Copies of this chain bind each other. A is one copy, B any other.
Amino acid sequence: MRLAELSERSGVPTATIKYYLRERLLPPGERITATTAEYGDSHLRRLRLVRALVQVGKMPVATTREVLAAVEDESLDHHMRLGAAVWALPHDPGPAQEAPETATARRTADELLHRLGWQYGLEMGPASPAYGMLVNALAALARLGYPHAVESVLPYARIAGELAVADLDLVEEYETPAEQVEAAVALTVLLEPVLLSLRRLAEAEESYRRFRGDA
């Protein structure tokens, strides 16, 4: 199919597809003549993934490119490939200035990983983007005077552990490593809004039960 048809079938404007091609989020089509290129189902599939990651997952385009590169990197073993892909997922820049709250938050995060027995996290953690995000968020809570000690966060960490098990169960339903890595990225990103919106709905429900009719 040509660009126009790819656009029609995916619902993405041609100008946007051209932009994605330029940014290397989509591999170039197979050149037929000097002025036309042919696209296949793999392009359509990739285009849908890109759209989902960028629009629903709100991932920056540059980040998406890196993640997709990791997904396709056949030179890594399975765990490393998963790791590289998820590693590249969007994250806030780590703690910038070393405020005193940051140091405390770092210690809290470390103790948390200890208490949970997350070996890999303890080893690789401090360098990983997710660890930086965690430290940042804990430091922000501390600055506002909200609970941020290990005891307060531990329940959330246990719940996160349950989530990860559910996620990996879903991933393992796929056969090939390539499918699994793609599923890991898609599900990691796209289940975030699902989870957050469900939490908001659940909070409304719980608030209704507890406070309904209060003055």
Q: Which residue numbers of A lie inside 8 Å of B, CB to CB?
A: 11, 48-49, 52, 55-56, 77-79, 82-83, 86, 89, 91-92, 99, 113, 118-121, 124-125, 128-131, 133-134, 136-138, 140-141, 143-144, 146-147, 152-153, 155-157, 159-168, 170, 172-173, 177, 183-184, 186-188, 190-215
CA distance A144 to B183 in the complex (A): 10
Are A168's CB and B200's CB within 8 A?
no
Question: A128-B200, A133-B193, A141-B186 are known contacts; what are 14 more A-B pairs with Cβ within 8 Å?
Answer: A11-B99, A79-B212, A113-B201, A118-B205, A130-B200, A130-B201, A137-B194, A141-B191, A146-B187, A153-B194, A155-B166, A163-B199, A167-B199, A168-B203
Number of copies: 2
Q: Give the distance to chain B from A116, nearest Cβ to Cβ, in Å.
A: 8
Q: Please, which residues of chain B bring their CB within 8 A of the CB of A92?
A: 56, 193
Task: Indicate whether A164 sits within 8 Å of B125 (C-beta atoms), given known contacts A131-B197, A194-B156.
Answer: no
CA distance A204 to B130 in the complex (A): 10
Closest to A153 in B: B194
Q: Please, which residues of chain B bring their CB within 8 A of the CB of A52?
A: 140-141, 143-144
A-B contact pairs, 17 of them (CB 8 A): A56-B136, A79-B211, A79-B212, A79-B214, A82-B211, A86-B207, A92-B193, A130-B200, A130-B201, A138-B194, A141-B190, A147-B170, A159-B163, A160-B202, A164-B202, A164-B205, A188-B199
Are B156's CB and A159's CB within 8 A?
no
Majority SS at the chain A contact face? helix
Q: Give the distance to chain B from A112, nearest Cβ to Cβ, in Å.
A: 8
Are A121's CB and B204's CB within 8 A?
yes
Q: Give the distance to chain B from A41, nearest Cβ to Cβ, in Å.
A: 12
